[in-house]
Structure 1
């Protein structure tokens, strides 16, 4: 808007430069959906370490493979994860004793091991605190709560809370607790008497039944439960569905729904094989039975075989686990060190913490699996167990798909999400050449930065990418409908899947 001048002098007017930087989205935020010992149900919780998972979701649990997969993820280089707890008919432990009504923070038998101690503050201290709180709080309404999880010794203290009214009202204060919530109805006494209170004495908590595929998908995206609780999350880029039991398998009926959802969310699904597969023929037969076909199969990859590692809950006995968490960790580690365009496979893609693989594959066996789009985990001398394949579920040679390789597909998803989020400012701007020029500048700078990092093929930007937004891509008919057409192209890097070395003898003095 022009400066309104009213008197002689100098006027300052700030003019927008037209430059809008696009920031690439994170490439390795892994979502884990499954059963947990405790924690909120159907809520995506962001964690950045296995210690956080232990604190919020109870750590490893023999009735679920979720904790083991999350542990493998962080052990192999994972940085950020989203965890969604699903369960069926789990019950909360509660206290309803001597006027104290409390619930465990979440359902499950873990709540039966909670213990609450109630104490009253000294009279003089209570009088001072009540006066400071105001709002009609009386000294004889204040009490202290100390909550202990006797199974883990985790402890929380809540000082000078009240049953009703005031800034320290118990129903408000306990919202931050990881162990308990205020019950209903509220305590009928002014305050509960001093003493110890045991959860489960009134109504014990109970773990739920094994989770069915319907529990993951019931209600669809609108219901925001199970798998679709991730609708509440801002972004996830990888998806893992660990089985209900560490040695079990994810229900085959769930993989199709998960793959479609990843296609919708621009995410990538890591598919785990079931136990008992030992030969290439068995793997291919099982994969064909899943029916993961069509364009959406570009958004997923299968890794075989399962991994062996010690189980802390069984005294260190070596057991069998799904590889999804470890593979997701390798992807996150590769993204951080090399970029999403680098294949998460090779000698550098070692799997940490494993003692071996469920099946020791040979070159001959991989000859049958690799052309069908099955990524193999292999064990090599000195290198140990590594990821030795990088094809999508659409990577079978017969398809000749342009998204045959995992890094190519994940790079495309990264570009789509980054450009989608970075172009929101365009909406409702005047649709003409000045806007098109700003779009070319903004998107071009983003692509140029990726080119300098080595994300694309080509010796020059002209060979590596293009951004086109002009009168050729935007006709008057499009402009009349309020449409801006932007064409972005890129030349992806394909992994060197096969290395061929020609060796020949030469005689002295002869040329090659």
Structure 2
């Protein structure tokens, strides 16, 4: 919320675009480690300032903040962020108020707003004044955390300190003692200087990452997913299992793409190719069509030096930028990467060919143009699921079709319902055709929608309605076939035939 105030006037309004928009295909989800902030709870951010306000400035300990900065610097507009952490304790300090009237309690626990070691050494200065010019007692609080801008809360009524400090980015006072006795005179003024301690944190395990993967699958808005710290936190089969679990969670949704990084501990081309082979060895083209790998990592400015950052965040920003400029059906390649000055590794051409043949998309440095995204393929070898542009066209169509078909799930299966469904889906496909996403000179050459007795015979369950869609992408390839099943007992199901 944003507020502005003048004498006698107070305006409060939400920031523009703060509501979720499931039709968008440029919204990203980032799962990884951050300096502070809620653990396991998704937070929607719309700028780098939002990231810093909620999760703190980058501290060099993890990659996700730098990936988020690269996302926004490259044109990203909206992201969902899930902080992933292992077992962690919250820093705290005891505040003994004593028998001062007006306070709800004689003791408080002042705890950090989120778990982790980030708040250790933080100072909380509290000043109590029994009377002021207005005649009422007040409390002033100043909070200073290492590496962060201080916060100040002047003139708080004693009885509202805990409620008012709920707006703090750093602390939460929790009553931890009995109320003060009635009628006992208190001091004219008091001061307390508290230092927070006891915060701990640990690297997330595969279990914490699996929980975060499950949470992002429930979010309707993200169309892009990245895990920038995964390759540092996990290795071997644990890393592979989390990646495959991510693909199994997004595969049935048909509405999002996972952009992966080669784990940073794999320094050679042979190791990178072997790692990709551990994923492609599943042979499941539907699953592999949900993921793309970009390599190598990037070198980005960080204070007075350069930092190596996984490429996924910057690539997601490029995809989001091109989504707005061209549309989701265009290949996100041959585009300049901003907020990066070099590649972490420079591969000679034969090694680039090996990486490309293994299914890895490259970020390359080209003379006169700088760093560029070079390649737009998924990990799938199947032509039907190989190209990112085609997959993202499916994601866009599925999102739009869900919007028009979802409200019809509980309607009675009838001729009127079939006509309504066909009309609504046709309007979606006509919009895609006019935007240049589909092939053909006329709409009938670009798509076909069938919802009649041929796929809904009389002997079929009357509580189920089937609608089949064929779409021809603008770039020549086989038709994309989608099958919609509306069932009153299971809602709307989208199946890619």
Common fold, TM-score beyond 0.5? yes
Among 294, 312, 319, the alignment partner of 2:307 is 319
Question: How far apart, CA to CA, are the structure 1 residues paired with 2:30 and 2:64?
Answer: 7
Aligned to 2:174: 183
Aligned to 2:199: 206
TM-superposed CA distance for 1:302, in Å, is 0.8
Among 337, 345, 359, the alignment partner of 2:333 is 345
TM-superposed CA distance for 1:162, in Å, is 4.1
TM-superposed CA distance for 1:253, in Å, is 3.6
Unaligned runs of at least 5 residues, structure 2: 1-20, 97-106, 478-497
Deviation per CA, 1:108-135: give whole Å up to 9, x if none: 22223142323336356355xxxxxxxx
TM-superposed CA distance for 1:187, in Å, is 6.3
Among 92, 111, 119, the alignment partner of 1:103 is 111
1:388 aligns with 2:374: yes
1:416 aligns with 2:398: yes
Question: How far apart, CA to CA, are the structure 1 residues paired with 2:344 and 2:476?
Answer: 27
Shift in CA distance, 495/36, structure 1 to aligned 2, threshold 3 Å = farther
Aligned to 2:223: 237
**Conserved in 1, the CA contact under 8 Å of 2:300 and 2:308?**
yes
TM-superposed CA distance for 1:287, in Å, is 1.2
Q: What's the secondary structure of 2:134's corresponding residue?
A: helix
TM-superposed CA distance for 1:277, in Å, is 4.7
1:155 aligns with 2:151: yes
Q: What's the secondary structure of 1:476's corresponding residue?
A: coil
Higher deviation after alignment, 153-162 or 405-414: 153-162
Alignment of 1:137-152 (within 5 A): 143-149=139-145, 151-152=147-148
Higher deviation after alignment, 283-292 or 67-76: 283-292
**Conserved in 1, the CA contact under 8 Å of 2:25 and 2:328?**
yes
Higher deviation after alignment, 416-425 or 43-52: 416-425
Please give the root-mean-square deviation of Cα atoms over the aligned residues, in Å.
2.8
Aligned to 2:64: 66
Deviation per CA, 1:270-296: give whole Å up to 9, x if none: 110123556543322221134554121
1:197 aligns with 2:214: no
Give the strand-richer structure, 1 or 2: 2
Question: How far apart, CA to CA, are the structure 2 residues paired with 1:126 and 1:422?
Answer: 61
Shift in CA distance, 379/34, structure 1 to aligned 2, threshold 3 Å = same
TM-score normalized by the length of structure 1 = 0.78
Greater Rg by CA: 1
Aligned to 1:355: 341
Aligned to 1:286: 275
Question: How far apart, CA to CA, are the structure 2 residues paired with 1:196 and 1:494?
Answer: 68
1:483 aligns with 2:472: no
Shift in CA distance, 80/489, structure 1 to aligned 2, threshold 3 Å = same
TM-superposed CA distance for 1:93, in Å, is 1.6
Question: How far apart, CA to CA, are the structure 2 residues paired with 1:158 and 1:228?
Answer: 42
Unaligned runs of at least 5 residues, structure 1: 1-22, 128-139, 218-224, 497-512
TM-superposed CA distance for 1:330, in Å, is 0.7
Aligned to 2:9: none
Question: How far apart, CA to CA, are the structure 1 residues paired with 2:459 and 2:157?
Answer: 66
Question: How far apart, CA to CA, are the structure 2 residues paired with 1:476 and 1:175?
Answer: 60
TM-score normalized by the length of structure 2 = 0.80
Among 296, 299, 302, the alignment partner of 2:290 is 299
Aligned to 1:461: 443
TM-superposed CA distance for 1:28, in Å, is 1.7
Alignment of 1:419-458 (within 5 A): 419-458=401-440
Q: What's the secondary structure of 1:125's corresponding residue?
A: coil
Aligned to 1:405: 387
Question: How far apart, CA to CA, are the structure 2 residues paired with 1:187 and 1:63?
Answer: 41
Among 352, 360, 378, the alignment partner of 1:374 is 360
Shift in CA distance, 470/92, structure 1 to aligned 2, threshold 3 Å = same
